[in-house]
Amino acid sequence: MTERSPAPGGSQEGKSPQRRGADDRGGNAGGWGETLRTVVYALVIAVVVRTLFYEPFNIPSGSMMPTLMDGDYLFVSKLSYGYSRYSFPFSAGPFEGRIISDRPERGDVAVFRKPTDTSIDFIKRIIGLPGDRIQVVRGVLHINGEAVKRRRIEDYQLRSGRTVPQYIETLPNGVQHHILEGSGDSGPLDNTAVFTVPAGHYFAMGDNRDNSRDSRVLNVVGYVPFENLIGRADLMFWSVEPQVVLWQPWTWPTGIRYSRLFDVVE
């Protein structure tokens, strides 16, 4: 029997390997391209969310105890106060002042750029609004000449085991929050001059009143310009004791503060 010659262009069987090779090369290129696009999209979305909506922030000190503790991680709402150049990564906002802005309320826990060094983020409670007169007299906060009400509650136990007096303070607009006042009326910041908050500025204080460098110390922090506000602390999403080490899993079970996870910041 005479063997038939393949039709011009080769048999279908003969073409298949060539098509598979071409498809493989296109598939690899498409796969890498798709992965790259996914990574780029994810980065863009992360930057947009961080810039316009929520930014994570961790607490590095005890100046806001008992409300916030060293090792707490928060989401800070950028929507709360609008946007300034400090809302953007590397303070790269292309404008001065604020846009789509809303004013903070007395009692907000706010993250802001330190007025005397804008490379540093601070977190404190907004106590004084523009035009307010703020003074501390024998450890008691005064706003516009009136003593702010506070009520003594159970003492707060520090990590060291020492206890300090704890109060619930009620601001003039009704906002209540806990404060620590360990030195009574004898600490260096327990008796101050009267601070008159300038227009366009705010007066911020830590809840740990004897261990907070805040607007009471003018040459360190001072009055906070509206432009320096980054956002309001809203939600705690993670909290760990200092002994927790990421690469030491045996420290996790006893080091995570489970009771603080997903707490609303007040």
Read out DSSP for 170-221? E-TTS-EEEEE-TTTT-STTSS-PPEEPPTTEEEEE-SBGGG--STTSTTTT
**Catalytic option among 63, 84, 87, 215:** 63
What tens digit of pLDDT does each residue of 114-136 get?
Answer: 999 999 999 999 999 999 999 99
Read out DSSP for 29-69? HHHHHHHHHHHHHHHHHHHHHHHHTEEEEE--SSTTTTTS-
pLDDT tens, per residue, the chain with 266 residues: 444 444 444 434 344 444 444 444 455 656 787 888 777 777 777 666 666 689 999 999 999 999 999 999 999 999 999 999 998 887 877 888 888 889 999 999 999 999 999 999 999 999 999 999 999 999 999 999 999 999 999 999 998 899 999 999 999 999 999 999 988 787 889 999 999 999 999 999 999 999 999 999 999 999 999 999 999 999 999 999 988 887 888 888 889 999 999 999 99
**Catalytic option among 84, 124, 215, 239:** 124
The predicted structure's pLDDT at residue 14 = 41
SS3 164: strand
pTM for the model stands at: 0.82
For the question of residue 160 being annotated catalytic, the response is: no
50-244 folds as Umud Fragment, subunit A (2.10.109)
Q: Which two three-digit tokens encode residue 74?
A: 């928060």
Q: How far apart are CA 108 and CA 207, in angstroms?
A: 12
What tens digit of pLDDT does each residue of 160-190 get?
Answer: 899 999 999 999 999 999 999 988 787 889 9
Structural domain boundaries in the chain: 50-244
Q: Exposed (0-12), middle (13-18) or buried (19+): which is 230, by Cβ within 10 Å?
A: buried
Contact 80, 55 (CB under 8 A): no
